[in-house]
Amino acid sequence: MANNLQGSIPRIVLTGIDPAAGPLDSRWTTVRAAVMDALVEHGCFEAVMDGLIAPELTAAALGPGGAVESLLSLPVSAKARNTSQMPYRGYVGSVPGLPYESLAIVDPLNPDAVRAFADLMWPDTGNKSFCESMHAYAEKVAVLEAMVRRMVLESAGATAEYIEEQAKATSFKLRLTEYVAPGTADGRVVGLPAHRDTSFLAVLTQNDIDGVEVECGRGEGEGEGGGAWARPALLPGSFLIFAGDTFKVLTNGRVFNPLHRVVMSGDKTRYSSILFSSPKDDVIVRAIDEAVDAQHPAVYRPFEYGEYVVFCYKPEMLRRTNKLDAFAAVRVDG
Ligand SMILES: O=C(O)CCC(=O)C(=O)O
Ligand SMILES: [Fe+2]
């Protein structure tokens, strides 16, 4: 594995911005421009939003002995009950050579869905404190996700009506993951191979142990796969935001969908929580009208989101790093 870590990704402070403010507020428009720049240039940035999540809630969710750790410490037989008809929406673990174990709560903003998940994991008790912490945590992260999603859509020229309709057609998934450390000071072990997300956005938080590496600068530099890898050192309580394939399609290729991976070192277990936003499975994904014109013809054909997800997880596609082009790039002949 190339160890070309000279890149960096932007850190943007959103502290104090009213999530409901919108474009009449000058701070909103200033930060919106920085967010769009970061997602166009790198597809990723670190968001600082002090005060969004109380330290007690962060500790209850991701701290030692907190909700995420208690979930991952269940026996595999219990965790394996987290299943789904769709790929990558349930338990993933026991992959040879990968110190990765992960579960997914589909629809985490709905308290009933969180309760149903906990009932499956803890059939005797239902684990009320897990439900309360994770639901409250997801709701807070979703405030930031909605704000960033709206900023991107506004930057791409979408109307207020479009943004409202798009919000109704969006679904959420909370993925909770444990990465076991290699236990040696200088060892570097892949925790999750390089991939791009299929989602609109992914908002990641962690238990103060870094591990994510992002191919920054649209992959156009010197490193493996073209770009330089950044290994952002996240401030405690800050958020790492990634744009996925679907946002690249909506913005007709402007927003980038970066390759990213997890590389573990040291001797401390890493826990992460990621809120993914994506279109509902039956939604047709296509560029917004304002992003397409004679100079910028559509780069991708329209497609149904659920069909794309199924395509991405076909065995022959798993190692491919540019699934979106393989599935939906418009071929220009001649
Ligand atoms: O857990 C992490 O830090 C990153 C995981 C990730 O990129 C993913 O699940 O798509
Ligand atoms: Fe990812």
**Local confidence band at 17 (pLDDT 50, 70, 90 cut-offs):** very high
Judge if the beta carbon of residue 273 lies within 6 A of ligand 1.
no
Name the burial class of residue 123, with classes exposed (0-12), middle (13-18) and buried (19+) by CB atoms within 10 angstroms of its CB. Answer: exposed
Judge if the beta carbon of residue 176 lies within 6 A of ligand 1.
no
Predicted pLDDT at 332: 67
Predicted pLDDT at 7: 82
- The per-residue pLDDT for range 190-228, each reduced to its tens digit, is 999 999 999 999 999 999 999 999 998 888 765 455 678
Q: What class has domain 11-328?
A: mainly beta
CA distance 173 to 232: 24
Predicted pLDDT at 334: 46
3 vs 105 pLDDT, higher one: 105
CA distance 75 to 7: 39
- The per-residue pLDDT for range 312-329, each reduced to its tens digit, is 999 999 889 999 999 999
Ligand nearest the Cα atom of residue 274: 1
Predicted pLDDT at 226: 62
CB 224 within 8 A of CB 5: no
Ligand 1, residue 202: give the atom nearest the CA.
10
- The per-residue pLDDT for range 26-74, each reduced to its tens digit, is 999 999 999 999 999 999 999 999 999 999 999 999 999 999 999 999 9
CA distance 233 to 213: 10
For residue 274, report the distance from its CA to the centre of ligand 1, in Å: 7
> In the 8-state DSSP scheme, what is residue 174?
E
Judge if the beta carbon of residue 205 lies within 6 A of ligand 1.
no
CB 171 within 8 A of CB 278: yes
Report which protein residue has its CA nearest ligand 1's atom 8: 197
Which residues have their alpha-adjacent CB atom under 5 A from ion ligand 2? 197
Judge if the beta carbon of residue 198 lies within 6 A of ligand 1.
no
Quick check: 128 pLDDT over 50? Answer: yes
Percentage of the chain exceeding pLDDT 70: 96
Report which protein residue has its CA nearest ligand 1's atom 10: 197
Ligand 1, residue 175: give the atom nearest the CA.
9
ipTM exceeds 0.95, yes or no: yes
Strands (DSSP E) along the chain, which ranges?
11-13, 44-48, 100-106, 170-179, 184-195, 201-206, 212-215, 229-230, 239-243, 260-266, 270-279, 284-285, 303-304
- The per-residue pLDDT for range 268-300, each reduced to its tens digit, is 999 999 999 999 999 999 999 999 999 999 999
CA distance 118 to 302: 37
For residue 195, report the distance from its CA to the centre of ligand 2, in Å: 6
- The per-residue pLDDT for range 91-122, each reduced to its tens digit, is 999 899 899 999 999 999 999 999 999 999 99
Percentage of the chain exceeding pLDDT 90: 88
Judge if the beta carbon of residue 262 lies within 6 A of ligand 1.
yes
